[in-house]
């Protein structure tokens, strides 16, 4: 999905100068000085991210495959849909990345794919974009996560997922957005 970008003179901020504060494998931290609409200047600190994909894998009986993994920054193990970053930056084809990530994290391949929506995860401090997909016509293969990735895959019925959301067991933003988007684009 091609995102739309808008500009308004009364709201836009203009880049003056900037510097990279941190350059890691997953993200980069940028600190910029900007000119505000009223002519004053301010500082903007934000995370630059290569982008990602996330997939709602739907089995023939309507169950959805979720993965459970440790999310260290949150201090917990979480259930979520399979997802992963664009390994080669924004220029990597999200469709190909989605196929790779589904296979790595769940072992499944899909016959059918539907792009759902593209979301900006936290636009107040990150430029991360996640492309959300629905996949069905699943065929089970072997799970093969990355060397530093430890995930468990399990299928849940829609009723179980609804209960997980209501009880606070499932609260990952990309997962909730993707599940909602599946309902919207039926």
Which residue out of 8, 17, 111, 147 is catalytically annotated?
147
CA distance 46 to 43: 10
| Residue-wise DSSP of 33-53 | EEE-TTS-EEEEEEEEE--EE
Is 65 within 8 Å of 179 (Cβ atoms)? Answer: no
CA distance 173 to 127: 16
Quick one: CA dihedral 131, 136, 76, 100, positive or negative? negative
CA distance 159 to 106: 21
Q: Which residue has the tokens 């636009």?
A: 123
For this structure, is 60 an active site residue? Answer: no
User: Which amino acids are annotated catalytic?
Assistant: 147
């Amino acid at each position: 999905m091609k995102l739309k970008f808008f500009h308004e003179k009364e709201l836009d901020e203009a880049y003056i100068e900037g510097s990279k504060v941190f350059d890691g494998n997953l993200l980069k931290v940028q600190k910029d000085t900007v000119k505000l609409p009223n002519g004053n200047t301010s500082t903007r600190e934000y995370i630059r991210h290569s982008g990602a994909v996330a997939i709602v894998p739907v089995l023939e009986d309507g169950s959805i495959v979720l993965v459970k993994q440790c999310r260290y920054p949150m201090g917990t193990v979480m259930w979520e849909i399979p997802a992963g970053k664009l390994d080669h930056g924004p220029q990597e084809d999200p469709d190909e990345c989605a196929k790779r990530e589904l296979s790595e994290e769940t072992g499944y391949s899909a016959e059918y794919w539907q792009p759902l929506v593209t979301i900006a995860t936290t636009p107040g401090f990150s430029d991360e974009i996640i492309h959300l997909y629905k996949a069905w016509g699943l065929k089970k293969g072997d799970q093969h996560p990355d060397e530093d990735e430890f995930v468990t895959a399990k299928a849940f019925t829609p009723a179980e997922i609804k209960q997980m959301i209501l009880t606070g067991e499932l609260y990952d933003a990309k997962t909730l957005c993707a599940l909602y988007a599946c309902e919207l684009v039926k």
